[in-house]
Amino acid sequence: MSLLPPALTNLIEELGKLPGVGPRTAERYAYNLLRSPAGNAQRLARSMSELHDKVSYCKKTFVFVPAGQEFSTLYTDPSRNKKVIAVVQEPFDVIAIERTNQFKGTYHVLGGAISPIDGIGPEQLHIQELFARITEDEVEEVILATNASVEGESTALFLQKRLSDLPTRVTRLARGLPVGVDLEYADQITLSHALEGRQTL
């Protein structure tokens, strides 16, 4: 028999299904919403109920766009260089790169990374669409900006091999040791890239 009202139990269970949210965190979130003015919970509920109806994906780049909008302004903006594509795993990776204000090309969101253990192969990602864009937009450079994880590295390697037959230049985001991190705490992938990207002094 539950010690909590069903409405609260249901909310805790649903919050607990979110990635990175354990049972205790779900309980804290639910209790916080209960203690807050009812308007806060109503606004949150409204935002969630509108999520699937009001958010869509660009048909070219697969970044987030408002529902009903065909292409992202990151693609249609004439100041963006369509001949340079940064390939990322997820839409939020685009936001991270945009915050640098350094990149003036376009993006291509794969929608994940190759992960056989999770049943994700190249056919589940937006790879065919990437190759179509390379031809249509006469792309000169593809920047592989996948995550520095085993899956991200595998995806980058797969794309690098597939792209090697094309005249398109293929580059990879530089990797290295973050400032302030001791070697003993650096992960294997970061350390490997730091060695590969070493510079002459």
- Tens of pLDDT, residue by residue over 70-128, are 999 999 999 999 999 999 999 999 999 998 888 999 999 999 999 999 999 999 999 99
Q: Is 145 helix (H, G, I), strand (E, B) or coil?
A: coil
For residue 174, the model assigns a pLDDT of: 77
- Which residue's structure tokens are 């290295």? 176
Residues 6 or more apart in contact with residue 175 via CB below 8 angstroms: 148, 189, 190, 193, 194, 196, 197
- What does the pLDDT average to over 21-37? 96
Neighbours of 103 (CB within 10 A): 17
Helix axes 38-54, 23-35, angle to 10 degrees: 120
Looking at the DSSP bridge assignments, the partners of residue 170 are 142
Q: Is 105 helix (H, G, I), strand (E, B) or coil?
A: strand
pTM across the whole model: 0.84
Task: With cut-offs at 50, 70 and 90, classify the pLDDT of residue 200.
Answer: low
Q: Cα–chain-centroid distance for residue 165?
A: 27
Provide the residue type at 67 as one letter.
A
Calpha distance 191→148 (Å, rounded): 11
- What does the pLDDT average to over 55-60? 96
Provide the residue type at 182 as one letter.
D
CATH match for 6-52 among 1.10.8.420, 1.10.3720.10, 3.90.1300.10, 3.30.565.10: 1.10.8.420
Give which of 133, 129, 131 is closest to 105, Cα–Cα.
Answer: 133
Same fold, 6-52 and 57-172: no
Alpha helix segments (H runs only) across the chain = 6-15, 23-35, 38-54, 73-76, 91-98, 127-136, 150-163, 188-196
For residue 177, the model assigns a pLDDT of: 64
Neighbours of 191 (CB within 10 A): 15
Say whether pLDDT at 44 is over 60: yes
Say whether pLDDT at 2 is over 90: no
- Which residue's structure tokens are 């390939």? 87
Say whether pLDDT at 194 is over 90: no
- What does the pLDDT average to over 58-69? 96
The domain made up of 57-172 has a fold known as Dna Topoisomerase Vi A Subunit; Chain: A, domain 2 (3.40.1360)
**Which is higher by pLDDT, 34 or 193?**
34
What CA dihedral angle connects 188, 98, 129 and 168, to 10 degrees? -70
Calpha distance 47→194 (Å, rounded): 42
Give domain limits for the chain. 6-52, 57-172
Q: What pLDDT, in 10s, does the model give residues 141-186?
A: 999 999 888 899 899 999 999 999 899 999 988 777 676 666 666 6
Q: Is 5 helix (H, G, I), strand (E, B) or coil?
A: coil
Task: With cut-offs at 50, 70 and 90, classify the pLDDT of residue 28.
Answer: very high
Average pLDDT, the chain: 90
For residue 127, the model assigns a pLDDT of: 97
